[in-house]
Amino acid sequence: MNTPIHYGNSHRDSFAPEALGKFALGLAGLPPEEIRKSKILFIKNAISEYEATAARVQATSSLLGGYVGKIMTLGMIDVTAIKTAQLKLMSDRIKNAIEVWRDDVQGEVFQFDGETFSL
């Protein structure tokens, strides 16, 4: 099983298959406008999680350069690389959801990772 990497207690991967399954079940039977609102909120929350994780990665990288000795820094490079890879995964999943849900979230503008997605 693929377990997401956690950055503190508040991180969760909104687009992990288990999370998407629960989300889809929650949409069953809702009117189309409520489904639209729910998908928009889901994407916005995922973007917020991504941005918080990116800020933690940036802070960690800054600390590694300034306060950690050379031996510790060498050991921490792998951790930073793992966190960077997790950010890429999160970003790709958000972009995929925006693309797949394009018709459902028409008219929305999402901004993250230096990009603007106008639908």
Domain assignment present for residue 35? The answer is: yes
Task: Establish if 34 belongs to a structural domain.
Answer: yes
In a domain? residue 29: yes
Neighbours of 76 (CB within 10 A): 15
Contact between 119 and 54 under an 8 Å Cβ cutoff? The reply is no
CB 14 within 8 A of CB 49: yes
Residue 82 lies in a domain: no
48 is a domain residue: yes
Q: What is the pLDDT of residues 36-95, one digit of tens each?
A: 999 999 999 999 999 998 888 777 766 555 555 444 555 555 667 778 888 999 999 999
In the prediction, which pLDDT does 83 show?
A: 81
7-47 per-position pLDDT tens digit: 343 446 677 778 888 888 999 999 999 999 999 999 999 99
Q: Is residue 66 assigned to a domain?
A: no
**End-to-end CA separation in angstroms for the chain:** 34
Residue 50: which domain range?
Answer: 17-56+89-118
Asked, for residue 8, whether it belongs to a domain, the answer is no
Domain membership of residue 27 (yes or no) is yes
Q: What span, in angstroms and rounded, lies between the C-alpha atoms of 94 and 46?
A: 7
Sign of CA pseudo-dihedral 97, 114, 53, 88: positive
Does the global pTM surpass 0.85?
no
Number of folded domains in the chain? 1
* 81, two tokens: 């690389």
- What would the two tokens of residue 7 be? 């950055």
Question: What is the largest distance, in Å, between two alpha-carbon atoms of the chain?
Answer: 57
Both tokens assigned to 35: 């489904």
